């Protein structure tokens, strides 16, 4: 269980860093800053879940 938490945190921070590089103003309506941040957070959690499960399956 110990490595699971570290992988989740690592991949969450990595995916937030990656998604912050995307210009979300092209995909969202103007003035929707909170919604764009929530979208980045939701996508980051989803991607980190997938990457963590892949890494754990690859390790085991």
Distance of CA 40 to the CA centre of its chain: 7
Q: How many CB atoms lie within 10 A of CB 3?
A: 11
Give the pLDDT confidence score for residue 36 in this predicted structure.
87
Alpha-carbon distance of 14 to 40, in angstroms, equals 12
Give the pLDDT confidence score for residue 11 in this predicted structure.
95
Average pLDDT over residues 13-17: 93
Give the pLDDT confidence score for residue 26 in this predicted structure.
84
Give the residue among 54, 37, 33, 41 at the shortest CA–CA distance from 12.
41
Residue 33 pLDDT greater than 90, yes or no: no
Give the residue among 44, 25, 21, 22 at the shortest CA–CA distance from 33.
25
């Amino acid at each position: 269980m110990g490595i699971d938490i570290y992988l989740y945190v690592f991949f969450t921070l990595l995916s937030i860093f990656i998604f912050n590089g995307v210009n979300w103003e092209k995909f969202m309506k103007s003035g929707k800053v909170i919604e764009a941040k929530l979208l980045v957070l939701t996508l980051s959690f989803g991607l980190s879940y997938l990457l963590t499960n892949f890494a754990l399956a690859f390790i085991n």
